[in-house]
Structure 1
Amino acid sequence: MPETAASAPVTLGAGVVRRTASLADGRELLYYDDPGTTLGPDRAVDARALDPRPDTATMRLDVLTGDWISVAAARQNRAFLPPAELDPLAPQTPANPSEIPALYDVAVFENRSPSFGPALATDAFDAPRGLDDLATLGLGRTRTSVGRCEVVCFSPDTQGSFGTQTETRARTVIEAWADRTAALSALPGVQQVFPFENRGEAIGVTLGHPHGQIYAYPYVTPRTTRLLESIERTGTDLFDRILEFEHASSRVVLQGEHWTAFVPFAAHWPLEVHLVPHRHAADFAETTGPERDELASLYLRLLRGVDAVYDSPTPYIAAWHQAPVNVGRDGARLHLQLTSPRRAADRLKFLAGSEAAMGAWIGDVPPEQAAERLRDAIAELPA
C-alpha cells in the first residue's frame, strides 16, 4: 500500500484541487481541497476491515402512477444521531473509525447504504433498458436500482450546514457539485443527477455533520417529468419567462448579475425559495466560473437569511434540480428549490390528506408575505 492513498492531484476551477482515493471496501472517495489549503498532499489509507457492500436494491413499478420505487432495505442500518465523538463523517481517529481516513476540506464518497447502485447498467442483468422500457406499464415489473449515491461533506466540523461555511469553502463545494455532475452523468444507465442538502431533525436528518448528498438516478424523476411536460406545452424559453415574470413582482428576495432568488408565485410550502441562473445552464457542469463565483456568496446570504427569519435555525430541503442527462436539456434549467415546513416559530406544516394522498396543495402563507419576511431577514444580516 502506498504512503498516500490519493491519486495525483487534478486542478479544477477556482484553484480547487481534486484527489481520488478508495475506501477499504472499494468505494470511491474524492477529496476537494480549497484553494490555498493548509492540507498536505498525502492522505491516510483506509485500513478498516469492512463487510462487503450490500447488494444493489431492486425497483418496483407502481402501475397506478408509473413511479418506480427503489426498495433499499440496507438503508435501515444507517447511522442515527450518533454523538459527536462517533461522527461517521468526521476524519478518522483511533477512537472513531469513520468513513473518511484523512483530514479534509471537502470530501465526497459513495454511500455505504445506497438507494441506487453500486451496480451500473453494464453490471446488472435486469437493469433498465432505456427510458421507453421504464415508461412501459405492467403489473409486477421490476428492474435493478442501478446508479450511484454519494455523500458530500462540506467540512470536517461535526456540526453545521452549507450556510455556516466560508465563501471559499462554498465555492469548493460548488466546484465539487459541477465535477461530480459531469462524472456521474457519464456512468452507464444514469438518467438524472440530483445534488441536495437536508437540514434539521424536523426534515428527518440523522447526522448533524454539515453535509449533502448526490443521487444519480436510473430514470427521470417524477418532478422533472412534469417539468418537461410543461416545457413541451409552453416552450423551451419557460425559465426566461418565469424570471421576467418574477422580476416584475414583489417576490424577489436577492438578485445578482447571474442569479435571482425569489419566492415562486404558486409556492407549495410556507417557506419556499427558488434560485435561478439568468443564462440557460442545464446543470452545474454547464455553469461558468463567474456564475459559480457569484453563487457562492449569493447562496450563503440566502441560507443565512432563511435562518434569520426565526430565532432558531430553520429546517429545510435544498434541492438542486438539474436537467436529465439525455432529454430536455434545451429547456430544463438548473435551479434551486429550497423548501421548509416551518410555518411559524413553533409550528410545522405536516402533509395531511389533501397533500399527502392527492397531491393537492393548500398554501399556509401568501408568497408575497413570505418574500417580505425573507427580504427583511436578509437586510438585517451583517454586510
Structure 2
Amino acid sequence: MEIRKNPLTGEYTLVSPHRLSRPWQPEGFCPFCPGAPETGHGWDVLLLPNRYPVVTPTPPKPYTEDFYVAQEAYGRAYVLVETSQHDVDDLSDLPIGQIVKALKLVVEAARESERDEKLAYFFYFRNKGREIGVSLTHPHSQIYVLPVVPPRVALELAHSKRWYKRRGECLHCAIVKREDKRVIYENRGWKSFTPYYARWPFEAHVYPKRHVSSIVELGEDELVDLADALKKTLCAFKNVLEKPMPYIMVMHQAPLRLRLPYYHLHFEIYGMYRPDGRLKYAAGAETGGGLFTLETTPEEAAQKLKETAARRC
C-alpha cells in the first residue's frame, strides 16, 4: 500500500492490491445490514472504518527509485452507511432528516480529521449503480482522508487563487451568481445547476450561496438545506430517463484546516447515462486526452433535470 506520483503530470495513484479481495456484489449476505459483524443492532446511520482501505494509520514504508516517488499511504478510510434499510435504492429515497444525520457524520469526521497535521485532504464521495462497478448495493458513501490534495482539486485551487488575485473576488461565488440559465433546483441556502463547462451528459454542481470553503463551516439550517438540495437533485437524476441513473457524487472543499476566501465548498454529481439511456464511457478522448465529448448541451440537460426535479420524488 503506497501512493505513487506521476513525474510527468503530478497525478497520484493509490496502490492498494489488497482491495482485490473485497466482497463484490454478494448475494444473500450484506455486511452493511443490521446484525452483521461490523454493524450490530440499534442504529439508523453508521460510520465504519473501511476494511479494505486505500490509506491507513499504519502504512508500510514505500519504495522510491530515482524520480519515481512514492509516499506512505497514511490516512483514514471510512464507509458511511446511510440507512439500515437494505432495499432503499438511493440517497434521494431517504427522508431529509435521515440525509441530515448522514451529513452530520461527515461533518464530525471532517472535524476529527483536522486534528491530525499529517492529513491534507478530506474527500467524501458516493458511487451509485452496479453499472459502474459498485461492489455493495446497500446505500452507502465513502470518505478518504489523504496526505495529499487530489490533483483535480489542486487544479481548481490554483485557478481560483489566480482569479482572486486578479479580480479580488471568489470565482466560485461569481459562477453561482451567473448560473441562472442552467439551474436545476435552489432553496434559501443552496443552488443546484448544470455548469456551462459540464463534462458529463447529465451533470450537476450543488453550491452553498454563502461563501464557505469547508463543510465544517456549515450550520444546522445549512445542512438541512443541503439535504434538501441533494435529495431534489438526485431525484431528478433518478427519474429524468425514467430509470435509475448510475452516478458519482464528490465533495470538493479546501484542504484541511484552511478557510480560503477564493475557494468554495461544493458537490459535483456526474450522471453515467447518455440522453438515449445508454452508459457513457470515458474512452479514448476522455481517458487519454482529458477531452470530454457531449451528445447534448448543458442547457438541454439542465432543463430536463429541472423539469424532473419539480416533480415529487
Which residues of structure 1 form unaligned runs of 5+? 1-56, 128-136
RMSD: 2.0
Alignment of 1:155-304 (within 5 A): 155-159=83-87, 160-235=89-164, 236-247=169-180, 250-304=181-235
Post-superposition CA distance 1:265-289 (Å, at most 9, x none): 0100000000000111112111111
Post-superposition CA distance 1:171-219 (Å, at most 9, x none): 1111111111111222241111011110001221111100000110110
Give secondary structure in 2 for the equivalent of 1:86: coil
Aligned counterpart for 1:68 among listed residues 12, 20, 30:
12
Give secondary structure in 1 for the equivalent of 2:79: strand
Partner amino acid for 2:246? Answer: P
- Preserved contact between residue 206 and residue 229 of structure 2 (Cα < 8 Å): no
Aligned counterpart for 1:99 among listed residues 25, 38, 47:
38
CA shift, 1:313, in A, is 0.6
Partner amino acid for 2:44? Answer: D
Fraction of identical pairs, as percent: 28
Alpha-carbon separation, structure 2, partners of 1:343 and 1:106: 33
Partner amino acid for 2:7? Answer: V
Post-superposition CA distance 1:44-94 (Å, at most 9, x none): xxxxxxxxxxxxx112221111122121011111110112x41011122xx
Post-superposition CA distance 1:313-360 (Å, at most 9, x none): 110011111111155733221101000120134312111211100112
Post-superposition CA distance 1:226-260 (Å, at most 9, x none): 1011112211511111012103xx20111111100
Alpha-carbon separation, structure 1, partners of 2:212 and 2:37: 36
Alpha-carbon separation, structure 1, partners of 2:240 and 2:157: 33
1:322 paired with 2:253, answer: yes
Alpha-carbon separation, structure 2, partners of 1:328 and 1:283: 7
- 1 or 2 for the larger relative contact order (CA 8 Å, sep ≥6)? 2
Aligned length, in residue pairs: 308
Which protein is bigger by CA-based radius of gyration? Answer: 1
- Preserved contact between residue 54 and residue 73 of structure 2 (Cα < 8 Å): yes
Post-superposition CA distance 1:111-130 (Å, at most 9, x none): 0110011327xxx7669xxx
Aligned counterpart for 2:78 among listed residues 147, 150, 154:
150
> Where does residue 263 of structure 2 map in the other structure?
332
- Preserved contact between residue 306 and residue 314 of structure 1 (Cα < 8 Å): yes
Alpha-carbon separation, structure 1, partners of 2:90 and 2:77: 19
Alpha-carbon separation, structure 1, partners of 2:187 and 2:162: 30
Give secondary structure in 2 for the equivalent of 1:363: coil
Alpha-carbon separation, structure 1, partners of 2:102 and 2:137: 18
- For normalisation by structure 2, the TM-score amounts to 0.93
Post-superposition CA distance 1:92-113 (Å, at most 9, x none): 2xxxx44212231100011011
- For normalisation by structure 1, the TM-score amounts to 0.76
Alignment of 1:357-368 (within 5 A): 357-368=288-299
1:109 paired with 2:30, answer: no
